[in-house]
C-alpha cells in the first residue's frame, strides 16, 4: 500500500485520538513570497527527526493520542476549502477532541474560530509578527492580512503577542501584549483558540516563512508562553505560514515540528 506521511509517524485512529491533526495547504491570498502550501507535509517530514519526549514539560507527546487525518484537497475553489476547514474543526470539537490545523496561510484561523464559536464564547491568543488587523487588503476582506481582524469580530477577546510590523492605525489597538504579561489580558474563564504564525519567531530561528521580520521571539519565549497557557483551557490551535522553499537547510520545518510537539505536550497530555 502507498505510504502516507503522518506527524510523528502516528497511526492512532480518529476514534482513539484526543488530539486530531489535519492539514490545509491553502495558498491563495499571498501578497509577497509563497510556499505555504508545502507547509503541512514539511512539518510531518521534519517530525521524523525529533524525539517524542520533551524535557521542558517532562512528557512523552504520544500520551496525547495523536491522529493525523492528512490534508484537505487544495485544488478546489477558495470558498469550498474554507467551508471544509470550518466543517472539519466543527466535527472534531463536537466529538470532544482537540483540533490542530496545519497551514497554509493564516486566513485559516478565521474558519477555525468560526467553528469553535459554535460551542460557546471564545478568546484567541495569537503569536504573529504582523498585526493582521487590516479591514481589507488588496481588495480582499478575508485574507492573511485581515485574518486577526476577522477573528476578533467573532470572539469575546483577542490577544496578540510578538507583533513588530504595523500598518499604522492598528498600533493603538489594545490587543497587543508582551511575552511577560500577555496572560493578564486573557479572560480566565474563557476557552482559548491558540494561533501560531511561525513568522512570530525571530528569522534566525525560523527563516522559512512567507514574511520574515527581524526582532522576533526565541525558543525560551515560546516555552514561557506555553507554561503560562497551562493555567487556561486551550481547545485547539493552528500552526501556519511555514514556507519550506525559503529555507533549504530544513531547520524551519524542524522548528515547526517542535512547536507542535511542545504545545501538545504542554497543553493536552
Taking only the tens place, the pLDDT of each residue in 66-96 is 999 999 999 999 999 999 999 999 999 999 9
* Segments forming the whole domain that contains residue 27: 7-268
Q: Is residue 147 part of a domain?
A: yes
Task: Give the whole-angstrom CA distance, residue 196 versus residue 167.
Answer: 20
Report helix angle 219-229 to 251-268, nearest 10: 20
For the cut 70, the answer to whether the pLDDT of residue 248 exceeds it is: yes
Query: pLDDT by residue (tens digit) across 112-164?
Result: 999 999 999 999 999 999 999 988 888 788 888 899 999 999 999 999 999 99
57 occurs within a structural domain: yes
Cβ contact 99:92 at 8 Å: yes
Q: How far apart are the first and last CA of the chain?
A: 32
Q: Is the pTM of this model over 0.85?
A: yes
Helix (H) or strand (E) holding 24: strand 19-24
25 domain-assigned: yes
Euclidean distance between CA atoms 76 and 6, whole angstroms:
23
Specify the CATH number for the domain of residue 100.
Answer: 3.40.800.10
Residue 40 lies in a domain: yes
Q: What pLDDT sits at residue 222?
A: 98
Per the structure block, which three cell numbers stand in for 218?
Answer: 526565541
Length of the chain equals 269
121: in domain? yes
In a domain, 2, yes or no: no
Total of domains in the chain = 1
1 domain residue, yes or no: no
CB contact set of 155 (below 8 Å; sequence gap of 6+): 113, 117, 121, 122, 123, 124, 193
Number of other CB atoms surrounding residue 28 within 10 Å: 18
Whether 30 has a pLDDT exceeding 80, the answer reads: no
Amino acid at each position: 500500500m502507498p505510504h502516507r506521511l503522518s506527524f510523528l509517524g502516528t497511526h492512532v485512529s480518529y476514534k482513539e485520538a484526543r488530539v486530531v491533526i489535519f492539514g490545509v495547504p491553502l495558498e491563495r491570498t499571498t501578497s509577497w513570497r509563497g510556499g505555504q502550501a508545502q507547509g503541512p507535509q514539511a512539518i510531518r517530514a521534519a517530525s521524523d527527526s525529533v524525539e517524542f519526549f520533551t524535557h521542558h514539560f517532562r512528557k512523552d507527546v504520544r500520551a496525547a493520542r495523536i491522529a493525523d487525518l492528512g490534508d484537505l484537497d487544495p485544488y478546489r475553489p477558495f470558498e469550498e476549502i474554507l467551508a471544509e476547514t470550518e466543517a472539519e474543526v466543527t466535527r472534531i470539537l463536537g466529538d470532544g477532541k482537540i483540533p490542530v490545523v496545519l497551514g497554509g496561510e493564516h486566513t485559516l484561523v478565521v474558519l477555525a474560530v468560526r467553528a469553535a464559536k459554535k460551542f460557546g464564547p471564545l478568546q484567541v491568543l495569537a503569536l504573529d509578527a504582523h498585526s493582521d488587523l487590516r479591514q481589507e487588503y488588496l481588495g480582499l476582506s478575508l485574507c492573511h492580512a485581515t485574518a486577526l481582524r476577522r477573528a476578533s469580530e467573532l470572539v469575546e477577546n483577542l490577544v496578540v503577542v510578538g507583533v513588530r510590523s504595523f500598518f499604522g492605525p492598528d498600533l493603538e489597538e489594545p490587543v497587543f501584549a508582551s511575552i511577560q504579561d500577555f496572560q493578564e489580558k486573557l479572560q480566565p474563564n474563557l476557552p482559548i483558540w491558540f494561533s501560531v504564525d511561525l513568522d512570530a519567531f525571530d528569522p534566525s530561528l525560523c527563516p522559512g516563512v512567507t514574511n520574515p521580520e527581524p526582532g522576533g521571539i526565541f525558543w525560551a519565549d515560546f516555552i514561557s508562553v506555553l507554561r503560562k497557557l497551562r493555567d487556561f483551557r486551550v481547545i485547539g490551535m493552528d500552526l501556519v505560514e511555514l514556507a519550506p522553499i525559503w529555507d533549504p537547510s530544513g531547520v524551519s520545518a524542524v522548528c515547526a515540528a517542535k512547536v507542535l510537539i511542545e504545545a501538545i505536550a504542554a497543553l493536552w497530555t
